[in-house]
Amino acid sequence: MQRIRLRYTKRGRLRFTSHRDFQRAFERALRRAEVPMAYSAGFTPHPKVSYANAAPTGTGSEAEYLEIALTRARDPERIRALLDESMPTGLDIIEAVEARTPGLADRLTASVWELRLDGVDREEARRAVDAFDAAGVVEVQRRTKSGMRTFDTRSAVVALESLETPPPSADRPTGRPCAILRLVVRHVTPAVRPDDVLSGLRAVADLAPPVPAAVTRLAQGLLDEETGTVTDPLAPDREAAATEPYPAGATAAATAPV
C-alpha cells in the first residue's frame, strides 16, 4: 500500500465550504480521476483518507493537508494533477509527496494566520496588538458542544503583529482603512482560533472591526520554539525521497497510467 500526502487550498468563495462539503467533493474527485484507492473493511467501505486539522468554515487557507492510501504505486505528481483537474476552482491540490516518514498529524503543531481588518486604522490595530502582547492572560468565552467555555487565548499565541497594509487589490475596498495582522498560534486543546484572538483584542483594547475579518491560514506545521517559525510538514518526506530512491520495479509501477 502506498500513502500519498497532499496539500490543498481553500480560496475565494470556497472558504465558506464546510469540511464535510470538502470531503464529498474530494471523494467524487477520487472516483472521477480513477485513483486506485484502498478501502476500509466492513459493510460500508470508505476510501482510506486521513484529514489533518482542517481550517474552520469561513476561513481561507493555503495549507490544508490530507493523506490517501493507494493499492498500487503511482507517481504523486500525476495523482496531484488528476485530482486538481477534478476539484472545483478554489479547492486546489497544489502539492503531493509520497509518505516516507510517520506522523504527519504530529508535525502540525502551529499555524500562521493572516487577518485582514477592513475599516480598522493600522495605528488602532497596533495599539490593540501591543495591549494583547502585554497582557498575561486574555480570557474569552466560546460556546462548544459541552456548553459555554472560558479559556485563555494569550498562552496559545506565539506571535501577533500588525503589518504594513498592502496595496489595494480587486477584493479589497479602496479609500478606507485596512489593517493586516499576522498571527502564529499553537494548536492546543481547546483550540484557539483566529476569531478567539479577535475576541481577545476586543476584550483588552476594544478593537471591533465594522465588518467581519477576512482570515486566511498561510501555513501550518511544526513550531520551532527557538525562532517562533512554522516549518513545512512535508519537508521530511521530500528529504527521505531524495536519499531513498525507489527500487527499479517500484519506479515502473509508480509511473504507470492511473
Q: Binning pLDDT at 50, 70 and 90, where does residue 248 land?
A: very low
pLDDT digits (tens, 9 = 90+) for 114-149: 999 999 999 999 999 999 999 999 999 988 878 888
- CATH 2.60.40 applies to domain 109-230: no
Q: Binning pLDDT at 50, 70 and 90, where does residue 174 land?
A: low
Strands 157-163 and 178-186: antiparallel
Q: What are the backbone dihedrals phi and psi of residue 246, each rounded to the nearest 5 degrees, phi first?
A: -60, 150
Residue 257 pLDDT more than 70? no
Residue 170 pLDDT more than 90? no
In the chain, list all ranges with CATH 3.30.70.580: 2-106+233-253
- How confident is the model at residue 222, as a pLDDT? 96
Residue whose grid cell is 487589490: 169
Q: What is the pTM of this model?
A: 0.89
Q: What CATH number does the domain located at 2-106+233-253 have?
A: 3.30.70.580
- How confident is the model at residue 168, as a pLDDT? 54
- How confident is the model at residue 249, as a pLDDT? 47
Q: What three-state secondary structure class fits 18?
A: coil
Query: What is the maximum span of the chain, computed from C-alpha positions, in angstroms?
Result: 63
Grid cell locating 232: 513545512
Closest alpha carbon to 55 in 46, 66, 45: 66
Name the residue with higher pLDDT: 27 or 246.
27
Give the Cα separation of 113 and 185 in Å (integer).
8
pLDDT digits (tens, 9 = 90+) for 188-241: 988 999 999 999 999 999 999 999 999 999 999 999 999 999 999 999 999 998
